[in-house]
Chains A and B, each alone.
Chain A
Amino acid sequence: MSQVAVSLGSRLGDLVGTGHVVSDPTSLAVYEVDGRCPSAALLPGSAAEIAEILRFASAEHLAVIPVGGKTHLHIGMPPQRYILALDLSRLNRILAYEPRDLTLGVEPGMACADLDRSLREKGQFLPLSAPFAKRATLGGIVAAGSDSPLRYAHGTARDFLLGVEFVTGEGVVSKSGGRVVKNVTGYDLHKLLIGSLGTLAVITRLNLRTFPLPPSQRMFVAAFADSSSAFAFCRAISKSQLQPRVVDVLDGGAAGLFAGRGGAGFLPRDSSLVVVEAAGHEAVLERHARDLAAMSREAHAVEFIALDDAQREQLFGCLCEFSPIAFSTTSAATFFRIAALTSTMPTLLLKAQKLAERHALDCAILVRALGVVYVALLPPPSSKSYPALLGCSRELLNLCVASGAIPMIERCPLELKNMLSVWPPAGTEQEIATRLKGVFDPQNILSPGRFRGCI
């Protein structure tokens, strides 16, 4: 180890205690981001320690990437610099939970699955059923801007994050929002942190609104010969008085993945599927079952099934875990997240499927909450497939822009990242975004270069 590294290690040990510094290269491999490994990983135990670390890093101009469950580090462009991983796994406590107020204060390193268990004991839940559920942390999920199948009814973190405490790039401990369910005091800086990939600040506490568990729920699957019929069914749902909490659409590729790797073998094959879940009292579930069956018939469904509890759990898990399931098929999986209007989706889906076919790439598509289209291109795990993957990705990006959709690539082989931007081109808001980055992180040490607009 060089003298510089030894000196750095000793300084870092002073900040968090030597037992909480990782510096041996083998152990650091888990903190890799797009081929770059940090020189050290720190595991702070408090917001005050994080502030110390960031003040030090800022003064020394050391690039820092905050890390939770390491489940979403593939998002964004490769970091321009990366010296320290700030591992928040020790900050994993529930700080305040008042079920009768439906509010919760939690540290960022708490695993979503652990939190879910604690909430369920009190008959509540948080609609953040994110992918990689066993490892993903609350802070990571919020910073990555993940969504869940419950988005249709509950939205995203933007809709139930009440406030945050955080440390800026300069090491200033600060906060925004509050701990009550309604609040407009001061500027909503916490909204900026959602989906910001740790480029602005390190979250040290999240205040969230919780929700009562419904008395029961039932999931239905309608199978269609083509996606246009599936969307006709979706249109009928959104025009109806029904209030489902999940409406996701799967193309044949996604249905096949779920039936195989996802263990949902009961799903109909070679069809476009619409998955709908209703929640509430028995009479409400009956009403949904009745009306959905009728609507699916009108849209020429080939099959309509009400799932039993075990099947429901399996399929709900698949919907949450779509990206990990897709990634598990090939290391070259390329995963698009496309924000689109419902009306444009049938055409977008068809064209995306044709594109993949033309480039001889396997493809799986999931439409989330009739608002976001996830497209997984699944080539063989060999660099020989990269030219096709690159060509298809470029065409898909252009196709999205032409249909008014806004695409980003959540994951792709590093070689592709070096040839195309995973973010959409910057718009008129870029100058403001850059200025805000300068306010929160003037030394540009937090996740430099990973975000939209080279932030």
Chain B
Amino acid sequence: MQRSIIHELEKLVGKSGVLSSAEDLLLYEYDGSVEEARPDVIVFPRRKQDVVEIVKLANRYDVSIVGRGAGTGLSGGALARQGGIVLAFSRMNHILEIDAENQRAVVEPGVVNLDLSRAAEKYGLYFAPDPSSQKSCTIGGNVSENSGGPHTLAYGVTSNHVTGLELVLPDGEVVQVGGRTMETPGYDLTGLVIGSEGTFALVTEITVRLLRLSEDVRTLLAIYDSLEDATDSVVDITAHGIIPAACEMLDGWTLRAVEAYVHAGFPLDSAAVLLMEVEGVRESVEAQAAEIIEVCGRHHAREVRRARDARERALLWKGRKEAFGAVGRVSPSYYVLDGVIPRTKLTPTLLRIEEIAKRYSLVIGNIFHAGDGNLHPLILFDHRDPDQFRRARAAGSDIMQLCVEMGGTLTGEHGVGMEKNELMPLMFNEGDLDLMRKVRAAFNPVGRLNPGKVLPLGKGCGETRLQPFPVSASGNA
């Protein structure tokens, strides 16, 4: 990269707003995934106009731009795959307004997810999407990835909670899509941009819907001697007309790793635990908890514990939300997958994942949002051993293929990024992908923003040999 662009960036945002030394760049070649890509420069805008000017500069120098929040993403979405500028939003982190009466907040993209809920708490409100990384991930990142979290089973993902966005297009033009109101006539560009993984536009302002905090909550931990009983319980709870606010499962291997670190009280000899939560008006919560306990009992749960107070609830959730950290203690590296299957296919899918683990001689733990069939297999490997890394990636690819075969999808909440873009033909044929390319080009015609993400690269960059599953063969809806 030319030195002059760095000088110009420094002129725009000040020297403290630009990083370009080798050691600084090293820190930005990672996110939460197993991918790596080094940028040429990192710039920290403070306001929308800075973003506009940076984009214009990038056009003049013909370099690419990758937006970045906290870098907690799990698919390489915030990595500069082709070098260029990483535009880090961490200094655009202001909550611009909380409109309690209309249950809206207007935020800059660098606002940390949990900070918004904390700020809204005094009004009895919160922001529903709650990724496990919510203590550090940003709302701009959530918008890019259309993030979910454990509680999205009942409340939906980011797109269900955003009403409007301010965008800076790759030519520097500022565009408002959606607004504060519940709907806006015209094409739902807000819905389209959310989850586009930074390949359409840079988001500089977000209007979100806030929900009222529930009056009461019951957190239950069901303990099983058989994985199948646990998955059957999940299906049966839904069949009883109960949609828990959250329904998470940890398999035996994972719960033992977590217990050693968090001491959440998971029994070490169990095959699986289900962590479930019901929320709402007091009367409904009690009735639903009783029904869930009954269903779990019918499926041979060894025990169903209730969190007695906020401390116990927090501890159980700590066990879930810090599970990845716990796994980090027992393995030099791990590869977190993200696939979705119909929840009725949980048992056969988990059995097949076990076979895949054996085939590649790897340990694979399972922790997932069982209620919506969103799997997060954790593949353990040692990154210093190239063969293990190769096997981990191959196993990951097989598991993704399995999810699609089961009638599911490649990603439920982590995004495609540069991790799965070459797997996209498993779900979409060339015509589908071509249409997506054209839609991207309507926003980002020369690929200035986040190149090399979401869609398979062209033939010159390594053609994929994966074949799509025919629509009729990909299982039931």
Contact = CB atoms under 8 A, between A and B. Distances in A.
A182 B477 contact: no
B186 A178 contact: no
A435 B442 contact: yes
Contacts of A101: 342-344, 373, 476-477
Which residue of B152, B195, B413, B416 has the most chain A CB atoms within 10 A of its CB atom?
A: B195
B313 interface: no
A222 interface: no
A350 interface: no
Contact of B182 (A339, A424, A452): A339
Which residue of A155, A181, A451, A452 has the most chain B CB atoms within 10 A of its CB atom?
A: A181
B477 A105 contact: yes
A342 B424 CA distance: 42
B15 interface: no
Interface string B174-217: 11110111111111110110111000000000000000101100
Contacts of A408: 185
A7 interface: no
Q: Is the interface of B mostly helix, strand, loop or mixed?
A: loop
A184 B438 CA distance: 19
29 contacts: A100-B343, A101-B342, A101-B476, A158-B160, A159-B156, A175-B471, A178-B427, A179-B477, A182-B374, A182-B413, A185-B416, A187-B440, A188-B192, A192-B192, A212-B243, A284-B283, A371-B182, A405-B181, A428-B173, A428-B175, A429-B175, A429-B186, A432-B443, A436-B187, A439-B435, A439-B442, A451-B186, A452-B186, A453-B186
Interface in A397-455: 404-406, 408, 423-424, 427-429, 431-433, 435-436, 438-440, 451-453
B239 A100 contact: yes
B342 A98 contact: yes
B340 A100 contact: no
A36 to B, nearest CB: 22
A35 interface: no
Contact of B412 (A183, A195, A242): A183
Interface stretch (B81-89, B384-392, B402-410): B402-410
Interface in B350-402: 369, 372-374
A212 B240 CA distance: 8
B431 A173 contact: yes
B471 A104 contact: no
Contact of A196 (B187, B212, B474): B187
A263 B475 CA distance: 46
**7 closest Cβ pairs, A-B complex:** A191-B191, A212-B241, A371-B182, A241-B215, A339-B181, A105-B477, A96-B477
Which residue of A168, A286, A337, A428 has the most chain B CB atoms within 10 A of its CB atom?
A: A428
A123 interface: yes
B413 A372 contact: no
A95 interface: yes
B415 interface: yes
Given A174-B431, A214-B241, A191 B188 contact: yes
Given A195-B188, A287-B281, A427-B176, A189 B183 contact: no
A181 B424 contact: no
B281 A180 contact: no
Given A235-B101, A238-B212, A283-B286, 17 more contacts: A95-B477, A96-B476, A101-B344, A155-B160, A156-B183, A176-B432, A182-B413, A185-B420, A188-B192, A241-B281, A280-B284, A286-B283, A339-B183, A429-B176, A429-B186, A436-B187, A436-B442
Contact of A183 (B101, B180, B196, B340): B340
A88 B6 CA distance: 58
Contact of A104 (B189, B369, B374, B477): B477
B132 interface: no
Contacts of A242: 281
A191 B175 contact: no
Interface string B436-451: 1011111100000000
Contacts of A435: 442
A455 to B, nearest CB: 8
A194 interface: yes
Which residue of B239, B407, B409 has the most chain A CB atoms within 10 A of its CB atom?
A: B409
B402 to A, nearest CB: 14
A182 B157 contact: yes
A347 interface: no
Which residue of A178, A192, A439 has the most chain B CB atoms within 10 A of its CB atom?
A: A178
A310 to B, nearest CB: 24
A154 to B, nearest CB: 10
Contacts, number: 261
A406 B185 contact: yes
A165 interface: yes
Interface residues of A, number: 91
B261 interface: no
A99 B436 CA distance: 31
Contact of B471 (A165, A194, A451): A165
A405 B181 CA distance: 8
Interface in A235-282: 235, 238-239, 241-243, 280-281
A149 B424 CA distance: 38
B318 to A, nearest CB: 23
A19 interface: no
B454 interface: yes
B72 interface: no
A350 B157 CA distance: 36
Contacts of B412: 180, 182-184
Nearest to B442: A435
Nearest to A285: B283
A282 B279 CA distance: 17
A189 B476 contact: no
Nearest to A344: B102
A325 interface: no
A241 B431 CA distance: 48
A194 B174 CA distance: 25
A184 B176 contact: no
A8 interface: no
B142 to A, nearest CB: 11
B191 A284 contact: no
Contacts of A281: 283-284, 287
Contact of B435 (A98, A189, A214, A241): A189
Interface in A306-354: 337, 339-343
A394 B157 CA distance: 38
Nearest to B145: A184
A339 B184 contact: yes
Nearest to A199: B187
A452 to B, nearest CB: 4
A100 B212 CA distance: 29
Nearest to A341: B102
B124 interface: yes
A174 B477 contact: no
Interface in A199-226: 200, 207, 211-215
A96 to B, nearest CB: 4
Contacts of A196: 187
B221 interface: no
Interface string B300-321: 0000000000000000000000
Which residue of B215, B283, B424 has the most chain A CB atoms within 10 A of its CB atom?
A: B283
Contacts of A215: 241
Contacts of A187: 192, 195-196, 436, 439-440, 454
Contacts of B17: none
A86 interface: no
A388 interface: no
B177 A182 contact: no
Nearest to B104: A341
